Amino acid sequence: MENSSKKSSDFGFEKTRGLWNCLLVEDVNGDGKPDILAGNHGLNSRLRTNPNSELRMIINDYDQNGTLDHILSNYENSKSIPLVLKPALIRQIPSLRKQLLTYESYQNKSLEELFPQAIWANSLTLQADMLETSLWINEGQGKFLPAALPIEVQSAPVYSITALDGDLGSPYLIFGGNQSRIKPELGSQMGSYGWVLKPEGKNQWIALLPQESGLFVPGEIRQIFQINIENKPNLVVLRNNDTPLVFEIRY
């Protein structure tokens, strides 16, 4: 490329809950059945989730002021450990100020300890069991199996996925994302300039470097799509608070 300016169980995800940013339904292996590509948060951040430390969002009107508050936490050893910093939590819920006079008083404090059981019992809990961007291969009869994607795709959140026809029976897959508007304690997540995945065998792809693919997009990608300009295929990349970029597609 050259720069020229339903419920989850319906898809076979019974035990998989993610932070899906985008979905692309596409037959990626040429077997005539639609597969699913799911853009997610990725694995290049402080956020982690596993059976021993589940990533949860706890929603409640903690200080009973008529406004719902959202607190991101890790659930470990039957305790919900908040991921938010003490000053931010107090700004969000000022009623905690007298309870948390020092940073030491907040250290390792669980949400169950910070709020009375009568309030805590009314919490809505959302849990993420999977953070990686993923590919689900359609096996037929409503069954989808995960297929591995190159680790490079997990370097940043993915907000847009598109597929381009190739000459190897499977499409090239294009991923774009990044996120800078995020709290300091989690850090900016700008680890991608867009990824082009080249088909390499059945249900397998390799990630091309920018100098190999010609795709190099700084900033926050939010949409990627293909259009024809003067009867030639082009890839349009839309970025958050930035100018669009157009790449001519050359195989």
Domain ranges of the chain: 2-48+130-248, 54-128
Distance CA 205, CA 168 (A): 11
Who's near 165: CB < 8 A, 6+ residues apart? Answer: 171, 172
Distance CA 2, CA 128 (A): 38
The closest of 35, 14, 47 to 205, measured between CA atoms, is 35
The tens digit of pLDDT for each residue in 42-53 reads 999 999 999 999
**Confidence (pLDDT) at 104:** 95
Model confidence, pTM: 0.86
Amino acid sitting at position 32: G
Q: Measure the CA–CA gap between 182 and 170, rounded to whole angstroms.
A: 36
pLDDT at position 7 is 33
Note the pLDDT tens digit of each residue in 150-160.
999 999 999 99
Sign of the CA dihedral with 16 first, then 20, 26, and 27 last: negative
Location of structure tokens 């589940």: 54
Give phi and psi for 49, each to the nearest 5. -145, 135
Note the pLDDT of residue 11: 30
pLDDT, one tens digit for every residue, the chain (251 residues): 555 443 333 333 334 455 578 999 999 999 999 999 999 999 999 999 999 999 999 999 999 999 999 999 999 999 999 999 999 999 999 999 999 999 999 998 999 999 999 999 999 999 999 999 999 999 999 999 999 999 999 999 999 999 998 766 789 999 999 999 988 888 899 999 999 999 998 899 999 999 999 999 999 999 999 999 999 999 999 999 999 999 999 87
Q: Are 239 and 222 in contact (CB under 8 A)?
A: yes
Do residues 112 and 121 lie in contact, with contact meaning Cβ atoms separated by under 8 Å?
A: no
48 token code pair: 């982690």
Give which of 57, 129, 60, 142 is closest to 95, Cα–Cα.
Answer: 60
pLDDT at 1: 58
Three-state DSSP state, 177: strand
- The predicted pLDDT at position 3 comes to 54
